[in-house]
Amino acid sequence: MRYLQLLESCAICPRECRVNRLKGEMGFCKIAGGIKVSKAFLHFWEEPCISGKNGSGTVFFSGCNMGCVFCQNYEISQKRFGVYIDIEKLAKIFLNLQAKGAHNINLVTPTIYVPYIIEALEIAKRKGLSIPIVYNTSAYEKPETIELLRGYVDIFLPDLKYFDDEIAKKYSNAPFYFEYATKSILKMYEIVGDVKIENGIMKKGVIIRHLVLPMHTNDSIKVLSWIKDNLKGKVLLSLMSQYYPMYRASEYKEISRRLTKREYQKVVNFVLENDLDYGYIQDLDSATDEYTPDFDLEGI
């Protein structure tokens, strides 16, 4: 349990709340000691190289170190729906998903649980866990925390949400988001290297997701320009149009609607003109709420 001591003065994420979570103290994420999860199942709605034919063995963790006003998973990220389990149980969940034929273990919003996840992976690997591990994150991370995952994670699936810090603070209460996210994404690439796909299934590498927001196409283009200048041809890009105004999005007029065809096409054109289409470009009609799973404690 050598990693759990990191929670005695928690600085796992950029917020560095310095609370003792092992003694029940709560910081921004409102999660004290223990592992809280809401669902573990075979997920078929991720990128094709992640979900494949059999599905991605996805574990949804409760709580989040972001505060996105438009979060599709707000029931678990902001309202923290779920149940507490121990490390042995988490390891068992990983093994059960592998037994069901999952192509990988997909850890969704895992940041605040990194010490527990490492311990659970060590147990599960001793008991035969062998499929790739996917770290599915908002990228509001510290590179030092990402470094802890070296040798444990095979695929990093980070968002790169914003370029402008004022936008990040307004919609996600995430100061210095771009600075932390880009440094952490570079660390992710350093750890796992170039993309490796076998028979259509990703085995290692980085997929950067970017969700285009209404009225913010210029910020999207700045995000994509950074990818072009730093990681072009080295990672997969997943450009997402599925923005749907949920949770508190109605409080912000400019993002209280879906994307227009013109807005999305502007960003798609930038991707195509700069040869960034090494990955996935989502159809505009993906903007519905059907991508939000039912958080029903399945598989827990």
CA separation, residue 88 to residues 24, 118, 124, 152 (Å): 20, 12, 8, 17
206 HSE (CA, 13 A, CB side): 26
- Annotation: binding site: 64, 68, 71
Q: How far apart are CA 258 and CA 284, in angstroms?
A: 10
Task: Give residue 300's pLDDT.
Answer: 84
Task: Give residue 290's pLDDT.
Answer: 62
Phi-psi category of 116—alpha, beta or left, where left has phi over 0 and alpha has psi -120 to 50?
alpha
Residues 6+ apart with CB under 8 A from 153: 133, 134, 135, 191, 192
10-residue stretch averages of pLDDT, the chain, 300 residues long: 91 98 97 96 97 98 98 95 97 98 98 98 98 98 98 98 98 98 98 98 98 98 98 98 96 97 98 95 76 78
Task: Give residue 211's pLDDT.
Answer: 98
First to last CA, the chain: 22
E strand intervals along the chain: 35-43, 56-61, 83-85, 105-108, 133-137, 155-158, 196-198, 201-211, 236-240, 279-281
Task: Find, among 154, 163, 162, 113, the residue nearest to 135 by Cα.
Answer: 154
Q: How far apart are CA 195 and CA 212, in angstroms?
A: 24
Exposure b/e, 59-94, CB count within 10 A at least 16 = b? bbbbbbbbbbbbbbbbbbbbebbbeebebeebbbbb
Q: How far apart are CA 237 and CA 188, in angstroms?
A: 14
Q: Which CATH class is domain 35-286?
A: alpha beta
Q: How far apart are CA 53 and CA 163, in angstroms?
A: 35
Task: Give residue 98's pLDDT.
Answer: 98
Q: How far apart are CA 229 and CA 276, in angstroms?
A: 11
Write the DSSP assignment of 98-109 as a string of letters.
HHTT-SSEEEES
pTM for this prediction: 0.96
Q: How far apart are CA 181 and CA 185, in angstroms?
A: 6
Task: Give residue 299's pLDDT.
Answer: 85
Task: Give residue 287's pLDDT.
Answer: 59
- Annotation: binding site for [4Fe-4S] cluster: 64, 68, 71
Whether the Cβ atoms of residue 175 and residue 166 lie closer than 8 Å to each other = no
Task: Give residue 2's pLDDT.
Answer: 79
